Amino acid sequence: MPTRHAAARTQPNRRLIARSVLLVLAATLATGAMAQQRVLRVITDRTDQGTLRPILEAFEARSGAKVEGVFMDQGLVNRLESRPTEADVVISKDAELLDIAAQRGLLDVIGSKKINDAVPAEFRDAGGRYFVDAYRARIIFYSKARVKPADLSSYEDLATPKWKGRICIRSGSHDYNLALFGMFFASSGEAKAKEVISGIAANLARAPKGNDREQARAIFEGRCDVALMNSYYHPMMAANDEQKAWADSVGVYFPNQAGKGTFIMRSAAGVTKNAANRDLAIGLLEYMASKEGQQLMVDRTRQWSVLPDIKAHPLMVKLGAEQGLVDGRFKIDFIPLAQIAGKREEVIRLVSEIRFDAER
């Protein structure tokens, strides 16, 4: 039999063994919990993860799920067609692409009362397959040194001879400009749209290239005097040490405020037809449409919310005030997305025929 001293020595050993067993059990349970964590797969053409990632991380914290994203620039609809089971949710910087995806049967009906109650009808697909989560204006950026605001008026004016050799723009084949030109067609008719697009092409200072920020840089460097860009790029550049000088050198102008209004670019979200985690997918979309999600969208992307009671970002209010706009509100030439999508092929043909992207 063990002595009293030997028995005493065995007690710490037993406690150590018990503690080790508990640690192993805890680790096993934690590993099991991690293995059971659900994954929501998102595909998006918003390449700036800094603007979208906080929204996805906020949903992760609320849901306990892991969100995995595929980020790309162009070819979103083709990717959905070629890899139909890759993602549960699709988020696009260009809502027109989701309308095209819906027409091709790539999206499922969302069927969320929360979204239908929160988002105004004009920002929801009539078939219930996607909704617009925010919008920005495609406006004129101009050189403060070489252009006066009084010289500016409308998109159509950019096609007149006074702007010969003075305009910069990104590729006419980029989704942003295809959507913009499609709105020209839908708003003004085929003949006028072709005249304006061809006139802008004739007035370019250089072959279209780079992203929107590169156009502001070209204005700063004196390569051109005006450019068509998305509104949110001004505050984004102003917050970037390397690009602040570009932002400081340009003013912004909301075209056609005395006419039909400025064209807007809409971002949107939907559920894929083959979503493996449909409940999580709808949960993310409902969060994006909520007041919290919309405020986060405004704060991070400098876009305008689709909820009428969410105010414009203070920096966008400030930009609009330069033109006399109140509270960041501006007159919109609102074109239904289906009308834009219906003109896309026609716009692509025109851009090719007039060699919009050719060297000057």
Tokens 């309308």: give the residue. Answer: 99
pLDDT single digits (tens) 285-344: 999 999 999 999 999 999 999 999 999 999 999 999 989 999 999 999 999 998 998 899
Burial 143-173 (b: 16+ CB within 10 A, else e): beeebeeeebbbbbbbbeeebeebbbbbbbe
What DSSP state is assigned to residue 331?
-
From the CB of residue 217, how many other CB atoms can be counted at a distance below 10 Å? 20
Contacts of 158 (CB under 8 A, 6+ apart): 140, 167, 196, 199, 200, 203, 226, 228
Does 9 have pLDDT greater than 90?
Answer: no
- Asked if residue 104 lies in contact with residue 122, where contact means CB atoms within 8 angstroms, the answer is no
- Write down the pTM of the prediction: 0.86
Could you give the CA distance from residue 253 to residue 262 in angstroms, rounded to a whole number? 10
* Selection from 95, 100, 83 nearest residue 43 by Cα: 83
Domains of the chain listed by start with CATH number = 39-135+265-316 (3.40.190.10), 138-263+329-353 (3.40.190.10)
pLDDT on residue 222: 98
What DSSP state is assigned to residue 204?
B
- Asked if residue 310 lies in contact with residue 152, where contact means CB atoms within 8 angstroms, the answer is no
Residue 19: which pLDDT band, with cuts at 50, 70 and 90? low
Residue 49: which pLDDT band, with cuts at 50, 70 and 90? low
CA within 13 Å, CB half, 302 = 19
Does 232 have pLDDT greater than 90?
Answer: yes
| 33 vs 178 pLDDT, higher one | 178
* Selection from 346, 192, 175 nearest residue 259 by Cα: 192
Element (H, E) at 32: helix 4-36
Average of per-residue pLDDT values in the chain: 91
Tokens 């805890």: give the residue. Answer: 26
pLDDT single digits (tens) 135-194: 999 999 999 999 999 999 999 999 999 999 999 999 999 999 999 999 999 999 999 999
Could you give the CA distance from residue 161 to residue 27 in angstroms, rounded to a whole number? 73
